[in-house]
A and B are shown apart, each in its own frame.
Chain A
Amino acid sequence: MVLTERGSIRTDLGAMRTVDTTCAYCGVGCGVRLHIDGRDQIVWVDDQPQNPSSQGMLCVKGRFGLTFVNHEDRLTKPLIRRNGVLEEATWDEALDYVADKFVEHRDSFAVLASAKATNEDGYVLQKLTRLLMGTNNIDHCTRLCHSPSVEAMLMQLGSGATSNSYEDYDNAGCLMVVGSDTSSNHPVIASRLRRTIDERGTKLIVVNPKRIDLCDYATYFLRPNPGTDVALFNGLAKAIIDEGLADSEFVNGRTQGFETWAESLKDYTTERVEHLTGVPAEDIRGAARLYARPPLGPLAPNPGGIRPLVSDQRPATSDFSYGGSCLIWGMGVTQHTCGTDNAHALLNLALVAGQLGRPGNGVSPLRGQNNVQGCGDAGCIPDNLPGYQGLGEANRTKFEQAWGSLLPCERGLRATEMFELAAEGGLECLYVTGENPLLSEPYIAHAEEAVEKLKFLVVQDIFLNETAQRADVVLPATSFAEKDGTFTNSERRVQRVRKAIEPVGESRPDWDITADLARRIARRLEMPVEQFGYEHPSQVFAEMASLTPILGGISYERLEALGEEGIQWPCPAPDHPGTKRLYTETFNVGPRAPFVPVEQGPPAAELPSRRFPLLLNTGRILYHWHGGTITTRARTLLARSPQLQIAVNPADAARFNIADGEDVVLYSKRGDLEGKASLTEAVRAGEVFVPFVKLQERNANFLTNAVYDPKSRIPEYKVCAVRIQKVGAPQTLRPGSGQAWRRGRREGGSAGHA
């Protein structure tokens, strides 16, 4: 082996072959080259430099975290609960049992699809739900992350997808990153942002209550009080208008409702906004100027020196005769009771500054899961057929003709509504694939109650997660490394996922399990089974493309011919090159995008009080993925970050007599959580931060509040009130743990009162 030649097989680590595929962690969609040994173990992961989304970059999770695939905890056989215990069963036993039960509970049935699975998995699953189960009750974790962005973008622009490509970040004059710890959650995007800042002098504005790593590169760091984002963005917009920086050509030609909206901003003077948000008026004005009039940066130099990366060819100079601003946001915007209003305020800002639809600008809700974009595209949402085609007559007829039976016309249940309905005893049967709601729903104790009330729960996953432990049937699925398929990343790029190893144990790909199950259900319902006769995911994709105009021109043959390039939708025809930017001419809502006036309301449903004086913010850390079901099974990542760290400001630590590294416990009205105190100025006095990964049986969602944004039904993960004290310190307020409080609450006592 010659180590100097990159991409050569790492025989020194035992590898015998390599397979190029797409990383299964976040929505960036990085190319990975898996090095696999003779026992089908992933022994090393290289970047795939031809992938245009990652351009040879890779983060710690992609490089060292994919070993979960070979972890000994993988589910290898179907499990059926008999006499209260999950016992191994054959596939036939399990699937026949599930089919019987699904038919029995057909009128009270819902599905949670997986944003970690492929487009093909999602498509087959929603087809089963709609065609056989006769319901639109299908949703996925987008409800818990970007549903407010999607609601707001659908209303104002007509599509919930990122409008630009990553290459627009490379060519922007100004980047505004709002409520996103990009270095932790989308590390390769952060690398691209740092690259353009380093090499081109691009300006960066960070908006975040927490000091994130990217702040080191920021021109402005705006630190609003939690829950005051609407005021801040209204203030920024008003500053843009007042200083005459609005893009009048764009506003006059491509928007509507400007006058009414501008009138609604009259109270958001920078001084009043400073009072509301805590952000200095001068910073608001400065950031507004930078966003509306980004500097005209020099063209990005070819980073490859003598030999540039093939995938890194820059667009022609003429495209960049002006500076553009990209607006990039994450969960800090959405996971609030005012999440949709926050997203509207952001979009208004982009519209008034005309920072949309041209090279070097755009609006980007950074997608969390690897395939959260594709899961929605494939139709795993309660209000749209695949490709965001509404449930209206014409669309239904098209699908009914293709699928050979009638389809439901009523909007289905959203994920959070499923749990509320279940808690009331109104939902009998739930089919969960590749999700773990008992870790990701807010106020876990409440979600557990809801699951207890289900009559039949099926979980299809790669590990026996918290939800699977309570299931009646567990179906072992394969990971991304054991199947073919496609993911769609945050820039709408459809990318190939290639089978690298044989399925672990008896596990099967999701699309295969679902199609098999569907055939059994169809037989019981005396419906034709041919609708689910797929033998390869390429057939699933071909059917999806034939019914979905935005994917119409994409096929496995085309994707394979393009290597790692992928194709960005909309791609309506086989000769269409794909679309780098949306909204260059018009919007999906029409030629004019509406402004939507929004007002700052109460910052959060639960604010600090005398008994719970601190404000808890939740989020993620670089070394773990969401709830940690996967990353705690990647040894490198777990060893790098084995304990739950509770970030506390030194002033609060002094106030509550806590030292760095000490074991502390947080209490909210709903539960408690132990962790190690980590003293840091990154959080402000009065605030604490906990990643929502579950480590050592501890998870922040025991604390978080199950209150929802009325428009999108997203839970308010980002704000709740807590108290902190040392482990073992005397309980000053009342004895007992959070568990006791929950019991008290259930018995009719009001929570949090002695």
Chain B
Amino acid sequence: MSDGAASRVQVTIDGRSVSVPEGASLLDAVLAAGAHIPHLCKDDDQAAIGACRTCLVQVEGQRGFPASCYLPARDGMAVATRGEDLDRVRGTVLDLTAAMLDPGGRGAAHLAGELARYDVASRFERGAAHPSTLRQAQGSGRTGVDDSTPAFTLSHADCILCQRCVEGCQDVQHIGAIAVLGGGERAHIGAFLDQPLVESICTSCGTCVSVCPTGALYPRSNQQLAASD
């Protein structure tokens, strides 16, 4: 890009100074600085959704812990990605997110790394009941897994409703086959009228699979297909 020095802003991330183009988010600055924070619903190449609330940061002189994906970087901002209170709040968000998932499933496994990073013992480890039995019985066919297309599976019990797949389907491919259906505890990703994906306008392009942060949308391997030949 041909951005001149004038169109860039300077921010400090954990004491390290980085320069990002004007209009970039704080999350961009954090990633540019090489720091890691979870950002489950933010696709690197797409607009922010702001659904997962895991990319929280602390900005000097501001109250609370804003989501960095939605906060434009401004010149002179001093940002911290770790801190006792910040880690505790983020840990709680991650814990609540994990509570949406089948604890033995792929999504929980993908989230385990993030939980460990913030020293969060999940509520299941602490013996709490989890609501995923309800989520397992959602979606088309009420089996909890849509395996109608040979390309990939959609497992509702591994989904955190971040909507990256919806964004990929509509804003990248302009197909619009999937959306969040239902509300509250019944909310889930699905196609029009809750049809199996293979009967919808879905073309199995796999963009949703490539952006899914928890593996709820997961490719079926050649071996699996060979076994079912």
Contacts and interface: CB of A to CB of B under 8 A. Distances in A.
A635 B221 CA distance: 9
Nearest to B42: A4
Contact of B45 (A6, A59, A213, A636): A6
25 contacts: A3-B212, A6-B43, A6-B45, A6-B210, A6-B211, A41-B222, A43-B221, A47-B210, A56-B172, A63-B206, A63-B207, A64-B151, A64-B219, A67-B222, A70-B222, A198-B174, A306-B69, A310-B1, A313-B1, A635-B150, A636-B204, A636-B220, A639-B150, A639-B225, A640-B198
B215 interface: yes
Interface in B195-229: 198, 201, 203-207, 209-215, 219-222, 225-226, 228-229
Interface string B22-45: 011100100000001011101111
Contacts of A313: 1
A45 B207 CA distance: 10
B45 A64 contact: no
A640 B72 CA distance: 44
A194 interface: yes
Interface in A596-643: 622-623, 635-636, 639-640
Contacts of A198: 174
Contacts of B36: 2
Nearest to B36: A2
Q: Which of A6, A198, A623 has the most CB of B within 10 A?
A: A6
Interface of A: 2-7, 12-13, 41, 43-47, 49, 56-60, 63-64, 67, 70, 183, 187, 191, 194-195, 198, 213, 303-307, 309-310, 313, 622-623, 635-636, 639-640
Contact of A622 (B43, B203, B207, B219): B203
A198 B47 CA distance: 17
B110 interface: yes
B85 interface: no
Given A639-B225, A640-B150, A60 B47 contact: no
Contacts of A45: 206
B222 A635 contact: yes
A7 B46 contact: no
Contacts of B214: 3
A5 B212 CA distance: 10
Q: Which of A41, A49, A56, A640 has the most CB of B within 10 A?
A: A56
Contact of B203 (A46, A60, A305, A639): A60
Given A64-B151, A305-B47, A640 B204 contact: yes
Contacts of A623: 204
Given A4-B39, A306-B23, A57 B207 contact: yes
Nearest to B71: A306
B48 interface: yes
Q: Which of A44, A49, A195, A635 has the most CB of B within 10 A?
A: A635
Contact of B174 (A5, A43, A195, A305): A195
A702 B206 CA distance: 34
Contacts of A3: 110, 212-215
Nearest to A59: B205
Contacts of B207: 47, 57-58, 63
Contacts of B226: 635
Contacts of A46: 210
Interface in B165-191: 171-175
Contacts of B213: 3-4
B149 interface: yes
A305 B46 contact: yes
Given A58-B206, A310-B1, A194 B174 contact: yes
B205 A63 contact: yes
9 tightest A-B CB contacts, nearest first: A305-B47, A639-B150, A194-B174, A63-B206, A635-B225, A60-B204, A4-B213, A6-B44, A195-B174
Q: Which of B40, B214, B222 has the most CB of A within 10 A?
A: B222
B113 interface: yes
Q: Which of B25, B39, B45 has the most CB of A within 10 A?
A: B45
Nearest to A45: B206
Given A60-B205, A636-B151, A636-B225, A7 B23 contact: no
A289 to B, nearest CB: 26
A4 B210 contact: no
Contacts of A4: 38-40, 42, 213
A463 B214 CA distance: 37
Given A4-B213, A56-B172, 19 more contacts: A3-B213, A4-B38, A4-B39, A5-B44, A7-B44, A43-B221, A57-B173, A57-B207, A59-B205, A63-B205, A63-B210, A64-B204, A191-B175, A198-B174, A304-B45, A635-B222, A635-B226, A639-B225, A640-B204
Contact of A303 (B171, B219, B229): B171
Q: Which of A60, A213, A310 has the most CB of B within 10 A?
A: A60
A306 B40 contact: no
Contacts of A310: 1
Contacts of B203: 59-60, 183, 187, 622
Contacts of B221: 13, 43
Contacts of B69: 306
Contacts of A57: 172-173, 205, 207
Nearest to A5: B44
Contacts of A63: 151, 205-207, 209-210
B110 A56 contact: no
Nearest to A303: B171
A46 B205 CA distance: 11
Nearest to A642: B150
B34 to A, nearest CB: 12
Interface in B110-146: 110, 113
B93 to A, nearest CB: 14
Contacts of A304: 45-47
A191 B151 contact: no
B212 A309 contact: no
A3 B203 CA distance: 23
A191 B210 contact: no
Contacts of B210: 6, 46-47, 58, 63
Contacts of A47: 207, 210
Nearest to B107: A3
A436 B226 CA distance: 26
A56 B151 contact: no
Contacts of A6: 43-45, 210-211
A313 B2 CA distance: 11
B45 A56 contact: yes
Contact of B206 (A60, A307, A309): A60
A41 B226 CA distance: 15
Contacts of A194: 174-175
B188 to A, nearest CB: 20
